Structure 1
Amino acid sequence: MAATPITDLLQLPRGERLALAMALWDSLDHEGRSEALPVDPAFCNELDRRWAAHRQNPTAALPWEEVQRQLGLG
C-alpha cells in the first residue's frame, strides 16, 4: 500500500478525517495513549471522587437538558 501524503488526508471530508483520527487513536495500546495524553494525578483523583459520589447517590445527577437550562444554553 502506498503512503498517502498528509496534505491529501487533510482534504478529506470532516467525517472521514474524524474516522481516520479515531482509527489512529484506537491503534494505540493503553501505554501509548497514556504517553500521548498524560492526565494530571489530581485530575484523576477528582474524577474518581466524583464517580464514587455518583455511585453512592445516582439520583442526584441532573439531566443534560437541566444543566443546559441552568447555564442559560437551552
Structure 2
Amino acid sequence: MKNISIADILKLPVQERIRLVELIWDSVAAVPEAVEISPELKAELEARLAEFEENPEAGFSWEQVKSHLNDDSWRSV
C-alpha cells in the first residue's frame, strides 16, 4: 500500500476527498462483521428493536421527521 500523508490528502480538491471518503466507507460497509460493537451498544440496539417490535406505531415515520425538521419546530427558543 502506498503511504499517503494527511497533508497530501488535504491538498486534494474537496470533491476528490469526498470520493476518497466514499471509497473508504464502502470498503468498511462491505465487511460489516469486521466492525466490533461493544456489548453495551449491542444491548441497547436489541432493546430498541424489541421496543419497536412490541409497538411499531409508537414512533414517527421518516416523512414526519423530515417535516418536523423542515418546519423548524424542533428548535427551542
Coarse TM-score class (shorter-chain normalised): 0.5 to 0.7
Does the residue aligned with 1:10 lie in a helix, a strand or coil?
A: helix
Task: Establish whether residue 30 from structure 1 lines up as the match of residue 15 from structure 2.
Answer: no
Q: How far has the Cα of 1:31 moved from its partner? A: 4.5
CA offsets 1:12-45 (integer angstroms, 9 cap, x no match)? 333432321231232243354x2xxx43211111
- Size of the aligned set, in residue pairs, is 65
* Percent identity of paired positions between Structure 1 and Structure 2: 29
Does the residue aligned with 2:11 lie in a helix, a strand or coil?
A: coil
Structure 2: 5+ residue runs without aligned partners? none
Q: Evaluate the alpha carbon distance shift between residue 59 and residue 31 of structure 1 in structure 2; reply closer, same or farther with a 3 A threshold.
A: closer
Aligned pairs for 1:10-49 (under 5 A) are: 10-28=10-28, 29-32=31-34, 34=35, 38-49=36-47
Q: Evaluate the alpha carbon distance shift between residue 16 and residue 54 of structure 1 in structure 2; reply closer, same or farther with a 3 A threshold.
A: farther
TM-score (norm 1): 0.54
Match for residue 73 of structure 2 among 51, 69, 74: 69
Alpha-carbon distance in 2 for matches of 1:24, 1:31? 16
Structure 1: 5+ residue runs without aligned partners? none
